[in-house]
Amino acid sequence: MSILFEPTKLGDIDVKNRVFMAPLTRNRAHRDGTPHEIAVTYYAQRASAGLIVSEGSQIAPMAKGYVNTPGIHNAKQITAWKEITDAVHAKGGKIVLQLWHVGRISHTSLLPHGNAPLAPSAIQAEAPTFTEDGPANVSAPRELSAAEIETIVTEYTDAAQASIDAGFDGVEVHGANGYLLNQFISTNTNDRTDAYGGSPENRAKLLLDVVDAVSERIGRGRVGVRLSPTGTFNDIHDGEASATYSFLFAEIDKRELAFLHVVEAFPGFEPSGPDKDLIQNLRTAYSGNYIANGGYDKDSAAEAVEKGAAAVSFGRMFISNPDLPERLRLGAELNSVDDETLYGGDEKGYIDYQALSSAA
């Protein structure tokens, strides 16, 4: 277990342990995308993580896909995030912001002027989202032009700079879970015939363009990427996953980024057979700082780090256990998650989970 609590360095980011907090959508921001005041407490409570990866945050108004999710594209949002990063740093923590564009996983009611969601191709997802009026099927998207894709790269770059201005220690480019960059990567969501479609190299182009532009702006030692090679969330599927991700992992490895954060498994879907082999092969071939995510407990996390992972990130366990590293270190009992308060709401199920020091 002790290896989980050893410090390490991810590019330019020094971390105090290998127990990381995964990005967690909680739908508690203000309607205009400004982080809520109670988020200061929420993140500060979890500052004992080696690294906090923030909830996904929209890089632009057209990047939004769910009600009450935060953004990082205007001065008001930057100011609110600065209060959060200051609170985390005051407690000795490190935090990076996850840069998010949902692409086709959105609804016209969530987007400026009722516009259609943006996507690599005009292929509608069989997936839900959450609007002001409750759950709804996502809207039909429209295909991005090449010029618009270049604009999106600029939006990512500006959002990365805004993150640094807000006091974050770096950023994570969200290329997983069926959102925009993952939609470009995957065969079932990208039928383009231009430089962004067809071969694995072309389908990976936008993600790599974003990574390169963001790295040039804020430094590659403060940039990470999140990928989900076997994921099917949000109606995503890559029929050439082995070729696609072998290429992507190799390209990311060359760039010597701060980290690569990989969703290896989703709740209720344990990888097996070809999926399990793919993850293992990709993980073995990658020489950089690999952050493992998906279904880990304290023993399997320690084993993963022993075998070469830089760290392991935890999601649900960090929701209900703000002092998770200490609980794992002591072998203490873990609080259970209240599923009814995961998304939306107020302090309940957000900042009222007890730490060991207050449990008595």
What amino acid positions are annotated as catalytic residues?
179
115: nearest Cα among 92, 140, 98: 140
Where are the alpha helices (H) located in 166-223, listed in sequence order? 180-185, 200-203, 205-218
The tokens describing 253, both together, are 């490895």
Task: Cite the beta strand spans of the chain per DSSP E.
Answer: 8-10, 13-15, 19-21, 52-58, 95-100, 118-119, 128-131, 134-137, 142-143, 170-174, 223-227, 259-263, 290-293, 311-314
Coil, strand, or helix at residue 159? helix
Residue 305 CB neighbours (<10 A)? 21
- End-to-end CA distance of the chain, in Å? 26
Amino acid at 293: N
Q: How far is CA 151 from each of CA 57, 79, 146, 295, rounded to the nearest angstrom? A: 18, 24, 9, 37
Cα separation, 223 vs 225, in Å, equals 7
Torsion sign across C-alpha atoms 14, 15, 20, 26: negative
Torsion sign across C-alpha atoms 23, 117, 125, 106: positive
Amino acid at 274: P
Coil, strand, or helix at residue 360? coil
8 Å CB contact between 131 and 108: no
Task: Cite the beta strand spans of 228-339 per DSSP E.
Answer: 259-263, 290-293, 311-314
168: nearest Cα among 50, 34, 52, 257: 52
